[in-house]
């Protein structure tokens, strides 16, 4: 309950600030109104449904790993991992920076995978928004979100960092996710080669780059895309339209069911 309260308090605090920024410096004109679909993702689907799935999958994977590797419970295993890790003794800022970098590198490859094959049907829900702004940031299918969370969370846990690092990761990633989806044209100038900006991420959501033809997969550090050969940020242009290119319904239940229906149609066609 405490984690839910923190999420809701954060959204209540940040949402008006981003709405104000989008009105003051809009990348393109768009109606400033709450969309019930995205509100449902922010208040119910992501914090509750995805949260339960992620915690269950993470604890299950951690429990199996702890028993297989050290024949211990997860808490004891994590304590031993922290004690044995040379990273755990670094200053807090260094640990946090390393955690953010590792999370982004793992997230980059996770993101590329989720743009292909059966994974795309679940990730396409996030790309279904045709109006890209901070509201749309939480529009993610629970299965898609859970897979990414478990992969990234597992990689960071394996580093053996201090527990305080994990407490700081969530708010930082939430704030940056809101920023990168905001309807503003900021490209961060010279820092565009280092940090993911709203202008950078808007190209990832461009309609003509949906699916396997994507670019700009990194969530926080744009140089990861530079190294991966997927960096795309023309300074004199902006995307003309956003979306997934799929016929996805604009209701919560319709979006939660759509990937499963797509999977069923695929299996039926093969059979």
**Tens-digit pLDDT string for the chain (271 aa):** 556 666 777 777 888 888 888 888 888 877 667 799 999 999 999 999 999 999 899 888 888 888 887 788 888 888 888 888 899 889 999 999 999 999 999 999 999 999 999 999 999 999 999 999 999 999 999 999 999 999 999 999 899 998 889 888 988 998 999 999 999 989 999 999 999 999 999 999 998 876 667 899 999 999 999 999 999 999 888 898 999 999 999 999 999 999 999 998 888 888 6
Q: Compute the distance between CA of residue 104 and CA of residue 110 in angstroms, rounded to an integer.
A: 9
Task: Give the residue numbers spanning the domain of 261.
Answer: 2-270
Q: Is 106 exposed, middle or buried (0-12, 13-18, 19+ CB in 10 A)?
A: middle
Overall number of domains in the chain: 1
Q: Compute the distance between CA of residue 226 and CA of residue 232 in angstroms, rounded to an integer.
A: 9
Angle at 224 between CA 223 and CA 226, to 5 degrees: 60
Residue with tokens 């914090």: 47
């Amino acid at each position: 309950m405490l984690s839910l309260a923190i999420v809701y308090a954060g959204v209540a605090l940040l949402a008006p600030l981003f709405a104000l920024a989008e009105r003051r410096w809009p990348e393109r004109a768009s109606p400033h109104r709450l969309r019930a679909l995205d509100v449902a993702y922010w208040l119910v689907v992501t914090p509750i449904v995805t949260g339960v799935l992620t915690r269950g999958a993470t604890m299950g994977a951690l429990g199996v790993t702890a028993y297989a590797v050290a024949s211990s419970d997860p808490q004891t295993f994590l304590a031993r991992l922290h004690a044995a890790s040379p990273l755990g003794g670094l200053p807090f800022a260094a640990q946090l920076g390393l955690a953010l970098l590792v999370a982004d590198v793992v997230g980059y490859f996770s993101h590329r995978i989720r743009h292909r094959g059966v994974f795309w049907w679940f990730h396409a829900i996030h790309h279904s928004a045709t109006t890209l702004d901070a509201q749309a940031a939480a529009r993610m299918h629970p299965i898609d979100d859970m897979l990414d969370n478990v992969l990234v969370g597992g990689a960071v846990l394996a580093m053996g960092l201090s527990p305080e690092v994990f407490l700081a990761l969530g708010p930082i990633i939430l704030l940056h996710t809101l920023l990168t989806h905001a309807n503003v044209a900021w490209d961060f100038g010279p820092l565009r080669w280092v940090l993911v900006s709203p202008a950078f991420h808007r190209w990832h959501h461009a309609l003509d780059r949906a699916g396997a033809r994507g670019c700009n997969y990194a969530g926080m550090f744009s140089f990861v895309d530079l190294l991966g050969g997927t960096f795309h940020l023309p300074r004199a242009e902006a995307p003309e339209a956003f979306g997934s290119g799929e016929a996805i319904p604009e209701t919560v239940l319709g979006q939660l069911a759509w990937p499963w229906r797509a999977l069923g149609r695929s299996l039926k066609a093969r059979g």
